[in-house]
Amino acid sequence: MDRRKVLGLAGSGAVGAAAAGVVGATLVHGESTAQAAADISAAVPFYGRHQAGIVTPAQDRLHFVAFDVITNRRDDLVNLLKAWTVAAARMTAGQDAGTVGAVNGSLEAPPDDTGEAIGLPPSGLTLTIGFGPTLFRTADGKDRFGVAAKRPEALADLPRFPRDALEADISGGDLCIQACAHDPQVAVHAVRNLARIGFGVVSVRWSQLGFGRTSSTSKDQTTARNLFGFKDGTANLKAEETDLIRDWLWVSDGWMADGAYLVTRKVRMMIETWDRTSLGEQEMIIGRNKGEGAPLSGTKEFDEPDFTVTHNDGPAIALDSHVRLAHPTLHNGARLLRRGYNFVDGSDGLGRLNAGLFFMAYQRDPRKQFVPIQAMLAKVDAMNEYVRHVSSGLFACPGGVSGPGDYWGRALFG
């Protein structure tokens, strides 16, 4: 039943013990998340007040999938959400997707788990669900599931931003699932099995693989680099900043209580032109130096940017630099919990790397956080010459699943 018979050996301390816990045990996903960093093969608790995969220290790999719901029957959708929740609880604990398993069933029947994760530990897998605006009301105005009245105001369609080059067939979606893990095969296995369980009710609209987390969501993590070669996420909202998390991440009331809104943007980077840009210009564009990641007004990564410092008669941190334009002081203190990943989808047929950043940001209200920040960036950011937004998604990710009797979306559909 467990993919690995002796999970306990992989873990250490509390997390290892949790991973070896009995099937369906209620593992509480705590406010403090630093412990999982201790062992990347261990399980991250699935149940808890908040969904795992948001403040959980960002794992190294991503498989993100957006679905369209292809039935109009509410019961079918709710039953799928229940079935998904059971499978998600199993897979995040390092078990097969179904109760029979990949190799223990009838020879005449296809296995209820696809098998590629046999022998692999839980690998920190988290599965996080979100509901898109079109679940509440379709583009042509239909309230298919009787939830239109429950659409939160914060789930307002994103405006069109200047320079958006969005491709409809890799944007949006009625539902999303974010699978993060330290082993890409574990993340892909989870998405593949969930998609299979969903046949007939949902259809994969688009999906995205990511590697090399570009954000830290915990102070225990070092800041990783994006494909521009710069540290990304130095000023990210971190799990330990509990006051900021309360103010800028978790929704406090309604069916979305303890949840958060997710904005995804697939940002293609013009890698080749960036690479022939001088180091000085690259640093000017970002507003930080490339080696240390320090703001150009300071010397250390975590020095607070000082926009009053001048250099050669101009501001040290340029007026159109990314760091300045995205800074909370320009946006009423707005913060984002970013959870992006690098992507390389091979090459583009013209010999250029089809690569960039799959940006993901969790927040309490996109209208006060992502939207004003991106509106400013899209207008004047010097980086715009090197990036193109090709996909966009907006999802309401509800609070956590409390235990085995609960399911994804109960607050909305229950």
Report if residue 277 touches another protein, rule: CB under 8 A: no
Among 17, 142, 199, 252, binds another protein (CB under 8 A): 199
Tell the smallest beta-carbon distance from residue 82 to another protein (Å).
16
Helix 184-197 vs helix 74-92: angle between axes, to the nearest 10 degrees? 150
Report if residue 196 touches another protein, rule: CB under 8 A: yes
Residue closer to another protein (CB basis): 199 or 302: 199
Residue closer to another protein (CB basis): 107 or 149: 107
Size of the site for another protein (CB under 8 A): 12
Residue closer to another protein (CB basis): 98 or 295: 98
Torsions phi, psi for 373 (to 5 deg): -65, -50
Report if residue 108 touches another protein, rule: CB under 8 A: yes
Report if residue 70 touches another protein, rule: CB under 8 A: yes
Tell the smallest beta-carbon distance from residue 390 to another protein (Å).
17
Q: State both tokens at 328.
A: 């909370």
CA 96 to chain centre: 23
Report if residue 203 touches another protein, rule: CB under 8 A: yes
Report if residue 309 touches another protein, rule: CB under 8 A: no
Report if residue 332 touches another protein, rule: CB under 8 A: no
Tell the smallest beta-carbon distance from residue 112 to another protein (Å).
10
Residue closer to another protein (CB basis): 71 or 354: 71
Residue closer to another protein (CB basis): 97 or 294: 97
Report if residue 159 touches another protein, rule: CB under 8 A: no
**CA 397/CA 72 separation, integer angstroms:** 21
Among 106, 222, 278, 308, binds another protein (CB under 8 A): 106
Tell the smallest beta-carbon distance from residue 144 to another protein (Å).
16
Q: Which stretch binds another protein (CB under 8 A): 104-112, 264-272, 349-357, 378-386?
A: 104-112
Residue closer to another protein (CB basis): 195 or 375: 195
Cβ–Cβ under 8 Å, residues 52 and 46 = yes
Report if residue 200 touches another protein, rule: CB under 8 A: yes
Q: Which stretch binds another protein (CB under 8 A): 5-13, 118-126, 193-201, 242-250?
A: 193-201
Report if residue 168 touches another protein, rule: CB under 8 A: no
Tell the smallest beta-carbon distance from residue 319 to another protein (Å).
44
Question: Interface residues with another protein (CB under 8 A)?
Answer: 70, 105-106, 108-110, 169, 196, 199-201, 203
